[in-house]
Amino acid sequence: MQKSQAFLPKEKPRKTHKKLTTEGILGIPYYIVLIGLIVIPILMMILYSFQREGTSVFIISFTFEHYTRFLSERQFVELTIESLYLAGIATLVTLMIGYPMAYLISRSKPRTQLLMILLINAPMWINMLLRTRALQQVFEMLAPNLLGSNIGIIIGMTYIFLPFMILPIYAVLSKIDPSYFESAADLGANKFQTITKVIIPLSLSGILSGIMMVFLPAATTLVIPKYLGNNRYLIGNLIENAMIQQGRFGYGSAIAIVLSVIIMGFVYLIKKVDRFQGVNVDEDL
């Protein structure tokens, strides 16, 4: 294709141009969605986050106050630290449960693997509020004093977000060539060494994806503190209150921008680790 294009400069451009229009038309609704509903909202958030409160976004009145609030407003700072702390522990717990799970699944027979992945996927198809309420019901039955406590919230986050840790790690582990394990053994590594020196480094991108998919969603959840925290407030509820009850656009926008920047850092890190391993199958060649 490429070569013939070089040899036939006169005929080819007309044809590609014609092709572009047919396929270009197919892409138009998508670009409208992409620009109108994904890119523009982000630009609006950036504008609002630098906008003095109470003014329309179309009148420029620049301020940093929404960002300095991250350091100055006591309730905000305390809730942020508390949310990040709870979500951090929950992420660690999901990793400690999720990694061995993903490993064990990836080492079982193909048919068993499929069944177990379906069983891990299944709860995610059930509404998250229903699952959280189910857990609340079990707490009420077995350990009512956990409701409202930090441990109760951490258990809730672990329960809800565990599949998001298992699945990306499993995706990476199941792609590792089994001959690596044999080579490690042949070269004299014991089982523990094989895991720490071979398997974990190879699955680093899966671990990072899992952390990304658990940590921030757990930190910003509205549902878990409501049902398992006896209506306790975490950062998600603060955002909800500021935006929906009080309509403070700048406040919520600034938080969203900061969260997005953290996520971009994660995505960058995952890409870097992935490239280093050379297992990134999605890249165009």
Positions 246 through 275 that interact with other proteins (CB under 8 A): 247, 249, 252-253, 255-256, 259-260, 263, 266-267
Residue 131: is it exposed, middle or buried by C-beta count within 10 angstroms (0-12/13-18/19+)? middle
Rounded to the nearest whole angstrom, what is the least distance from the CB of residue 205 to other proteins in the complex?
14
Q: In this structure, what is the dihedral angle of CA atoms 25, 26, 27, 33, given to the nearest 10 degrees?
A: 110
Q: How far is the CB of 202 from other proteins (least distance, A)?
A: 20
Q: According to CB under 8 A, which residues from 143 to 202 bind other proteins?
A: 159, 162
Among 8, 11, 17, 41, binds other proteins (CB under 8 A): 41
Q: Does 222 bind other proteins (CB under 8 A)?
A: yes
- CA pair distance 119, 167, nearest whole angstrom: 11
- Answer for the pair 77, 70: CB distance below 8 angstroms, yes or no: yes
Min. distance of Cβ 276 from other proteins in angstroms?
Answer: 20
HEC string of 244-265 equals HHCCCHHHHHHHHHHHHHHHHH
Judged by CB under 8 A, the residue of 42, 81, 96, 143 near other proteins is 42
Least distance in angstroms from the C-beta of 65 to other proteins: 17
Q: Is 230 in the site for other proteins (CB under 8 A)?
A: no
CB of 160: closest distance to other proteins in angstroms? 10
Chosen residue from 86, 165, 223, 234 binding other proteins by CB under 8 A: 223
Range 112-141, binding other proteins (CB under 8 A) = 114-116, 118-123, 125-131, 133-135, 137-138, 140-141
Give how far the C-alpha of residue 31 lies from the chain's centroid of Cα atoms, to the nearest Å: 24
What is the contact mask toward other proteins in residues 92 to 111, using x (rule: CB under 8 A)?
-----x--xx--xx----xx
CA-to-CA distance for 211 and 161, rounded, in angstroms? 10
Contact with other proteins (CB under 8 A) among 17, 183, 244, 268: 244
Phi, psi angle pair for 200, to nearest 5°: -65, -50
Residues in contact with other proteins, total (CB under 8 A)?
A: 80
Only segment of 69-77, 168-176, 192-200, 243-251 that touches other proteins (CB under 8 A): 243-251
Applying CB under 8 A, does 60 fall inside the site for other proteins?
A: no
Distance CA 221, CA 129 (A): 11
- For residue 145, what is the DSSP state? G
Minimum Å distance from CB 22 to other proteins?
4
Cα separations in angstroms, 65 against 3, 44, 99, 177, 195: 58, 17, 41, 52, 48
DSSP classification of residue 53: T
Taking the complex as a whole, how short is the minimal distance between the CB of residue 84 and other proteins, in angstroms? 13
Q: Minimum Å distance from CB 208 to other proteins?
A: 12
CA proximity to 217, closest of 171, 271, 263, 253: 263
Of the pair 189, 222, the CB lying nearest other proteins is at: 222
**Between residues 203 and 249, which has the closer beta carbon with respect to other proteins?**
249
How many residues does the structure list for the chain? 285
